[in-house]
Each structure stands twice: as C-alpha cells, then as structure tokens.
Amino acid sequence: MLGIETSCDETGVALYDRDRGLLAHRLYSQIRLHADYGGVVPELASRDHVRKLLPLVRQTLADAGLGLADLAGVAYTAGPGLAGALLVGAAAARSLAWALERPAIGVHHMEGHLLAPMLEADPPEPPYVALLVSGGHSMLIEVTAIGRYRLLGDTLDDAAGEAFDKTAKLMGLPYPGGPALARLAETGTAGRFRFARPMTDRPGLDFSFSGLKTQALLAWQASAGDDQARADLARGFEEAVVDTLAIKCRRALAATGVRRLVIAGGVGANRRLRAQLAEAAAQEGFAVYFPRPAFCTDNGAMIALAGALRLAAGQLEPPAIAVHPRWDL
Ligand code: KG4
Ligand code: ZN
C-alpha cells in the first residue's frame, strides 16, 4: 500500500505491506517555507505539495526496490486538514490508482495517528485508550477494534499543541514553537512559575488549555523577559500541560477499565510527557505505547498502514476526488 499524507505542511509518502510491515517512508517538511510568516500559509502549502509529492513517491518506491505495478492500492489523507493541501494528495492518489486500476482509499488523518503505534515492533492490541494530542486536537479515544472509536474527552478550546505553539510565540520563539518550547523547558528551573492544571479538580475527561496560555502571557509580561525567565516559564508551562494530560489519561483508564494506553499526535513527541507516562505505567501496572517521535507528527507511514487495514477489511469507496477539510472521526 502506498500512503500519501498532505493535510498540512508535511509531504509524507510511505509503503506498507501487511506481512512485511513498513517497507520505506520519506517526509518532506515545509517548516522553513512557512517560518517567516509565523504559521502555515495554506496556498503556499498546496503549491509545495504539488512540487514535492511525485518526486517523493518515486524516491520511496526506489528505496523499497518496487515499481508502481507492485502496488495493491493507494491510500491518502482525505481530511481533516487544509482543503487545498488535501486536494493535492487526493488528486495524485486517485489518479495514480485509476491509472493502475487499483483501489484508492481516503483515510481519516486522526485514524492514521491513532493507528501509528502499530508501526512499531510491539504493537498494542485493542482495546486501548488513545491520547491524541496534536496541533489541532486533544482527545481521549477508546479504541475497541480497528474502525471502532469512542470519544471519551475533547478540548473545549485550544488543542494541546496549539497551546504549546501560542505560548512559544508570545515569548518570541520561532514557528513551530512547540518543540522549541520543549527544548527550552529542559534548561528551565522547576517551581519558579506555577500554573494551574485546568479541569483536573472536577470529574470528566475534557480538556481546556486556553486559560494556561493567558496565565503564561501574564507571567511573561510580569517577568524580566530575559532568557532565564523564558526557560523557567517554558518549564512551568510544559509541566502544567503534561501533568494535566497524565491525570486525564489515568482517569480514562480507570473509567473504561482498559489497561493499555497509546499516545499519538505531534505532542506525543514531547519527552516529559513520554517520561511521565512511562513512570505512571510502571507504578500503576498499565502498558503504554508510543510511536517513535517521527511517527507522532504527521507522516505517510500511518496513512499507508490505515489504508492497508481498510483494504484488507474490504472498506472501499466510490472513485471520486473528495476531501473533508472538517471531518468527525
Ligand atoms: O500531529 P502533528 O504533526 O500535526 C497536526 O496534525 O497538528 O502535531 C503538530 C503539533 C504542533 O502543535 C507542535 O508544536 C506539537 O505537535 N509538537 C510538540 C512537540 N513536537 C511537536 N509539542 C510539545 N513538545 C514537543 N516535543
Ligand atoms: Zn496530524
């Protein structure tokens, strides 16, 4: 299965085989293209996908020593995401599949993230609870089987990654701020800035991160605004987000009786989050699964995997080039 991801600012291409696993994967990130603008410019993103996608498909096939005729199908991200960016991947995938007389499979981007841990050596068996934390989403989902997902909790405002990015921006860090803020937090002093753990003092599995961002803004304005303050604030902010996510994960496991936890989405690359959940898992006797950081953020491998599973399950759609910029899981 060829997998194509173009929902935002990464062009991802991969080849997955149900028996042999991941055969090859390549990623082209547009980060430098958008950095000057402080965020993703949708039209620039679409045009860059047009330039990069087919060469990337050729290179990925060459990496695996395969040709187009070897493909059983072509999977692509059909949404949610930027409409123009999605259309580039959808048009390329549908056209390739049509020319090859193979099925094309439109994959939900979030399902890709949810299944990404299955790309690793010790894949989780459903049922599991997944914490899906990216730039656009903060969700807790119960996965009872592939294709059977129950939303347990969602964010009421900003997504976790969005809160990282916005807080980084207000302290003058370059786009994309999340990873930069996380790096800075490693040098920060613990305890100098203390933030709330939003919505942990009442029952429920929903999140709210926009208040934390406001607290960070006020603390930043009241500080000396120097490098030490920036690092210490990054540390306090990261600890607050990570603690909050960890509390809700443990609560979701308790509420469902499930003992397997999967972390997915870009914020899943965060080292403090990974360390804290690994520690909780060891202490409390549940299992935690993380995709490698490169498969936490957007990539083609998770789309190829999801497409291969859907094809095996016979879940195909009529051959139309349709994308869903907004799409419930
Ligand atoms: O899954 P993803 O690549 O794209 C979306 O579908 O949104 O997630 C990107 C998000 C960004 O908000 C980015 O700042 C955040 O994940 N992120 C991180 C880290 N690496 C990426 N946030 C905190 N710590 C990190 N190490
Ligand atoms: Zn994503």
Nearest ligand atom owner, CA of 264: 1
Q: Is the predicted pLDDT of residue 42 greater than 90, yes or no?
A: yes
Residue 323 covered by a domain: no
Instruction: Return the minimum-mean-pLDDT range out of 140-144, 146-150, 185-189, 272-276.
Output: 146-150
Pocket test for ligand 1, best of 267, 271, 326 (most atoms within 8 A of CB): 267
Non-local CB neighbours of 150 within 8 Å, separated by 6+ positions:
141, 142, 144
Counting atoms of ligand 1 from 1, which one is nearest the CA of 160?
A: 12
Categorize the per-residue pLDDT at 176 as very low, low, confident or very high, splitting at 50, 70 and 90: confident
Categorize the per-residue pLDDT at 328 as very low, low, confident or very high, splitting at 50, 70 and 90: confident
Nearest ligand atom owner, CA of 274: 1
Residue 202 covered by a domain: yes
What pLDDT, on a 0 to 100 scale, did the predictor assign at position 38?
A: 83
**Do residue 302 and residue 279 come from a single domain?**
no
Residue found under tokens 């903060």: 138
Residue 76 covered by a domain: yes
Name the residue range of residue 177's domain.
Answer: 125-290
ipTM value for the complex: 0.98
**Do residue 150 and residue 87 come from a single domain?**
no
**Do residue 153 and residue 72 come from a single domain?**
no
Counting atoms of ligand 1 from 1, which one is nearest the CA of 293?
A: 20
What pLDDT, on a 0 to 100 scale, did the predictor assign at position 39?
A: 85
Categorize the per-residue pLDDT at 5 as very low, low, confident or very high, splitting at 50, 70 and 90: very high
The pLDDT tens digits for 63-83 are 999 999 999 999 999 999 999
What pLDDT, on a 0 to 100 scale, did the predictor assign at position 318?
A: 72
What pLDDT, on a 0 to 100 scale, did the predictor assign at position 175?
A: 83
Number of folded domains that form the chain: 2
Known binding positions: 109, 113, 132-136, 165, 178, 270, 298
Q: If you measure from the C-alpha of residue 113 to the centroid of ligand 2, how many angstroms do you get, rounded to a whole number?
A: 7
Residue 326 covered by a domain: no
Ligand 1, atom 14, residue with closest C-alpha: 178
**Do residue 283 and residue 302 come from a single domain?**
no
Q: If you measure from the C-alpha of residue 275 to the centroid of ligand 2, how many angstroms do you get, rounded to a whole number?
A: 22
Q: Which residues of 142-163 are buried (b: 16+ CB within 10 A; e: fewer)?
A: bbeebeebeebbebeebbbbbb
Return the SS3 of 12.
strand
**Do residue 133 and residue 249 come from a single domain?**
yes
- Give CA–CA dist 251/195, Å, rounded: 21
> Would you say 240 and 208 are in contact if contact means Cβ atoms under 8 Å apart?
no
Counting atoms of ligand 1 from 1, which one is nearest the CA of 269?
A: 26
Structure token pair of residue 318: 């009529």
What pLDDT, on a 0 to 100 scale, did the predictor assign at position 321?
A: 80
Q: How many CB atoms lie within 10 A of CB 256?
A: 17
Closest to 84 measured CA to CA, from 120, 59, 53, 57: 53
Q: Is the predicted pLDDT of residue 309 greater than 80, yes or no?
A: yes
Nearest ligand atom owner, CA of 266: 1
**Do residue 183 and residue 66 come from a single domain?**
no
Residue 162 covered by a domain: yes
Instruction: Return the minimum-mean-pLDDT range out of 51-55, 171-175, 262-266.
Output: 171-175
Q: What is the pTM of this model?
A: 0.91
CATH of the domain at 15: 3.30.420.40
Residue 88 covered by a domain: yes
- Give CA–CA dist 95/104, Å, rounded: 9
**Do residue 213 and residue 240 come from a single domain?**
yes
- Give CA–CA dist 166/320, Å, rounded: 37
**Do residue 199 and residue 176 come from a single domain?**
yes
- Give CA–CA dist 31/27, Å, rounded: 12
- Give CA–CA dist 28/21, Å, rounded: 22
Once rounded to an integer, what is the mean pLDDT over residues 105-126?
94
Ligand 1, atom 26, residue with closest C-alpha: 270
